[in-house]
Chains A and B, each alone.
Chain A
C-alpha cells in the first residue's frame, strides 16, 4: 500500500498515512485531487478506480471515506477487507465508532492503524491481538515511570 486517507463528505481530511516519501506539497496536491475524484463518484459505482498510475480502493462508512492507494500487483478485493478490518478495529475500540470519535481521538486512530499495518503491509491478522496491544499500550500511558520489567506481550 502506498497511502491511506480518511476524509469526510465535505472533503476534510481526518487521517493520512503515507508509506512512500513525498514532499508536503506533493502530499497536499495528491490529497486534494484524489478527494475531489472520489467525492465525484456516484453511490452506485464500484469501489475501484484507476488514478495516475495507481489503483485506488475506497469505501464509504457513514460519513467517512476510507481510501487506499495500492500498486498494480496488489489485490483489490483483499484491500477492501483491509479497510473493513480497520473499521471493525476502530468500532471495537471506540464502541460503535462515528466520525467524531476519529476527529477528537485522531492519535488513537493512528495508533490502532499502526498495530494493524506496518510499512504498508498487514502485520497482524487477529483482531484480538491488535486490540490487546492497544489496550496494553494505553495502560502504559497511565503509569508515570516504566516498571523495571514489563510483562512481555504474549501475543
Chain B
C-alpha cells in the first residue's frame, strides 16, 4: 500500500498532537520507517522533504544517523532545494568524528567552483561550520580564490571560512595573510568585519603576523573614526550607534595590536578617548562599544589619564539601571583591582551598594570586589558593611563572606580587641559556615591578660545564648577552659560586670557535652575544658570528676580515651594534674605569614633558595592555604605559585625548621607544544631515601587557555607511584596560573627510574593527547 508521504508541517502537527511520550515515540518510529523506505526506493524529488522531517525528529532527540548518506546525495543534486536541505543536514548530522564527512569535500569543491552564488554560500557556510582539518586542507585554495571575487556576498563568507580554516589548520595562515591588506580597503561592512576577524585570528596565532599587522593601525583608526563621527545610517545603525558589531571588532583588534607595545598604544590614545566620549550610552549597543573600549584601554599601554577615564566609565556603569551592565562592570573592576587599585578604590561606596543586589551572581561579584578593596584605612567601615551583609546574604555566599571577613580582619585589624570583636561577631552570625581553620586561628590569639579576660567574657555570653554553632562553641569552650579563672573574677572594666558563678560555668559546659547538636570534636573541647577548670576553679572538683567518669564509657573512642586519661589524672596522678593542665604559653603566630606571602610572590625570581620541605603533607596544606588567599581576594591574575627553578621546592616558609638542603636536582623540561610546557622538579627528602617527590608544573604562554588538563603517569613495576590531586584543570593563557601536581615515587631498591606521561587537554578548541616517555631523567633522582 502506497501511503502518500507526509508533508513536514503535517508531521510536526502530528507529533505535537501526541498526548504522551510513548505516543510521540510511536508516531516517530512509524514515520522513520517510512523515511527509511523512501530513502531506499522513494521518489528522489521528495527526498528533501524526507530529510527535513528526519532533521526535525533529530532535534527532538531521536537517532537520525541513517540520514547521513542522504545528505550527500542531496548535496550532489542540481536542485537548489535539495542542496539547501542537504547542506543543512550535513551541518546537523555530520561532523568530523564520522568518516562519512570527508565525502562531501568533493561536492563542496564542485559547488565552490561553479560560480552560482547562493550555492557557493551554502558550501562555504557548511565548510565553516563542520569542516574538519582534512577538509580545510583540501579546500583551502578554492576558498582563497573566492576571497578576491567581485561579489561581496561570496567574499564575506569566504573570509570567515578562512577564519575557521586557520583555527583548524594554523599552517594555512600563510595563504590567508597576504590578501588581508587589500581587503581592508573595501567599503562593504560585511567584508570589513570578516577581514578584521581574520586579521585578529592571524595575530592571535603568530607573533610575526602581529608585527606585520601593526602597520594597519592607522587604517583601522580611520575606519573606526568614520564610524564614530558619521551620522545615523539606517542600514547599519543600532540605536544611534553606527555598526556596533564592526566597532567592537576593530576595538578588539586594536587591543591585540597595542598590547605590550608602547608605540602602537600611543597612537591609539586619542582615538580611544574619542570613542569613549562620543558614544551614545542610552542603549545597550552604545554600552557594548563603550565596554569594549574600556577593555582595550585597560589592556594596552595607554596613558594614565585614559586609564582613569576607563575606570570611571566602569564606575558609571555601576549606577546603570540595567543589571547586565552592572554585572560586566563588576567583573571588569575585579580584574583591574590589583593593577589599578587606587582608581578602583574611588568607587568603593558604589561597589558596597551593589552588595544589596537581588541577583546572586551580582552580589557575589560585589562581595569579591569589596573584599579586594579592603585596606588599612577603610577596614573598619568596610567590616561594618560586610558584617551587615553577612547577616542578610544568601546561604551560598555566607562561607565566602565569613572567610573573607576573617582574612581581612587578620590583615588589617587596627587593634587586637577590634579583631577579637570581629571574629566573635562572625562566629555568632554565621558560625556554621566558617572554615575549620578559623577555630585554630582564634585560639592562637595573642595579647595581654586584658584581652584574655575580655575574650572569655564575651565568648561565655555568646555561648550561653546559643550552643548550636560549632566553631563558636569550640572556641568558647577552649577559652573558658584556659581562662576560666579570669571569667570568675568578674570585675572586668569594659563590659558590664557580670557575676558568673562556678556552677553556671560547669553547667554550661555540661550542657554542651550533652547536647545532640555538639559534634564529637566539640565534645572533646568541652571535656578538656572541664578538666582544665578543675585546676582553675577554687571549688570542689567533685562535679567535674563525676562528669569525667561518666564519659569513661562513652561510645566515641576519642572521648572515652580522654575521659579515662583524665580520670587517671584525678586518681593516680593527682599531684601532676596542676602542672599538666597549666595555662598555655602565649603562642606567637607561626602560621601562614600572609603579608610575607604577598611580598614573596612579587619577587618571583628570588624563590630559588627555598629549603626542601621535610614532610610533604605540608605541601598540600600549603597549597590549601594559598588557595585560601586566592578565594578571599577574588584575584583573577596570579604570579606562578611555584617557581620551577633548580632545587625546585615550594614557597619559602621562614619558620619551618629544616635540615641542611642536599645538592638540588636540576629541573627537567619534558614537554612543549604551542606554548604549553610541562616541567618536572625533583626532591629527595634526606630523611627518607627511597622517596622521590616530583612536582609537575604545567604552564601556558600561548594566547589560548588550556582546559580539562589531565596528567597521568606510569613507572616500572618495581617502583611505587602515587599521584596527588592536581591544583586544577585549567591553565589560563599568556602565563596564567600554572597547574601543579605532586607525584610520590617510592624506590627502595634504587631501580632505574623510568617515567611515562600521558597528557590530555583542550587547547585552541582541539583535544590534545600526548603519550611519551620522559628522557634524560637525572641520575640523582633514583640513585
Contacts and interface: CB of A to CB of B under 8 A. Distances in A.
Given A78-B244, A119-B161, A155 B235 contact: no
Nearest to A127: B235
B288 A106 contact: no
Give me the 9 closest cross-chain CB pairs, A-B, nearest first: A77-B288, A119-B128, A153-B153, A119-B164, A78-B288, A118-B160, A140-B80, A124-B190, A46-B323
A140 to B, nearest CB: 4
Nearest to A129: B190
B124 to A, nearest CB: 7
Nearest to B292: A75
Contacts of A85: 238
A107 B116 CA distance: 21
Interface in B701-730: 705, 707, 730
Interface string A134-155: 0011001101111000101101
Interface string B337-368: 00000000000000000000011111000000
A133 interface: yes
Interface in A16-67: 16-23, 28, 42, 44-50, 53
13 contacts: A21-B130, A46-B361, A48-B361, A75-B288, A75-B291, A77-B288, A78-B245, A81-B288, A104-B9, A115-B121, A118-B161, A153-B117, A155-B152
B125 interface: yes
A141 B235 contact: no
Given A13-B60, A119-B161, A123-B157, A136 B125 contact: no
A129 B327 CA distance: 34
Contact of A76 (B16, B236, B324): B324
B673 interface: no
B236 A122 contact: no
Nearest to B239: A81
Interface in B144-161: 150-153, 156-157, 160-161
A81 B705 contact: no
Contacts of A14: 59
Interface stretch (B81-89, B408-416, B523-531, B567-575): B81-89
B324 to A, nearest CB: 5
Interface of A: 12-23, 28, 42, 44-50, 53, 72-73, 75-78, 80-82, 85, 103-104, 106-107, 110-111, 114-115, 118-119, 121-129, 133, 136-137, 140-141, 143-146, 150, 152-153, 155
A132 B121 CA distance: 14
A81 B152 contact: no
A48 B330 CA distance: 12
A28 B61 contact: yes
Contacts of A76: 324, 327-328
A42 B676 CA distance: 40
B509 interface: no
B160 A45 contact: no
Given A46-B362, A107-B85, A152-B150, A53 B707 contact: yes
Contacts of A110: 88
B193 A150 contact: no
Contacts of A150: 116-118
Contacts of B79: 144-145
Contact of B97 (A21, A48, A78, A114): A21
A54 B760 CA distance: 19
Contact of A153 (B151, B164, B284): B151
Contacts of B291: 75, 77
B547 to A, nearest CB: 50
B36 to A, nearest CB: 19
A118 B128 contact: yes
A86 B287 CA distance: 19
Interface of B: 8-9, 12, 16, 52, 55-56, 59-61, 78-81, 84-85, 88, 92, 95-97, 116-118, 121, 124-125, 128-130, 132, 150-153, 156-157, 160-161, 163-164, 189-190, 193-194, 197, 235-236, 238, 243-246, 248-249, 252, 284-285, 287-289, 291-292, 295, 323-328, 358-362, 705, 707, 730, 765
Contacts of B157: 118, 123
A25 to B, nearest CB: 11
Nearest to B159: A123
A123 B359 contact: no
Contact of B59 (A13, A20, A119, A140): A13
B286 to A, nearest CB: 10
Contacts of A128: 235
A73 to B, nearest CB: 8
A49 B360 CA distance: 11
Contacts of B197: 121
Given A20-B765, A126-B189, A111 B84 contact: yes
B50 to A, nearest CB: 13
A129 B189 CA distance: 11
Contacts of B707: 53
Contacts of B61: 13, 28
Contacts of B55: 106-107
Contacts of B362: 46
Contact of A48 (B85, B151, B327): B327
Contacts of B243: 125
Contact of B194 (A73, A81, A121): A121
Contacts of B78: 145-146
A81 B361 CA distance: 21
B118 A119 contact: no
B80 A141 contact: yes
Chain B CB count within 10 A is highest, among A14, A18, A118, for A118
B80 A48 contact: no
Given A77-B284, A106-B59, A129-B190, A48 B328 contact: yes
Contact of A45 (B156, B359, B730): B359
Given A78-B245, A80-B284, A128-B235, A119 B153 contact: no
Nearest to A57: B324
Given A21-B96, A78-B245, 20 more contacts: A12-B60, A13-B61, A21-B95, A44-B358, A75-B292, A75-B295, A77-B325, A81-B285, A85-B238, A119-B163, A121-B193, A122-B249, A126-B235, A128-B235, A129-B235, A137-B121, A145-B78, A150-B116, A150-B118, A155-B153
A82 B164 CA distance: 19
Contacts of B130: 21
Chain B CB count within 10 A is highest, among A75, A141, A145, for A75
Given A47-B324, A123-B160, A78 B359 contact: no
Contacts of A144: 79
A81 B238 contact: yes
B129 A19 contact: yes
A15 B194 CA distance: 25
Contacts of A28: 61
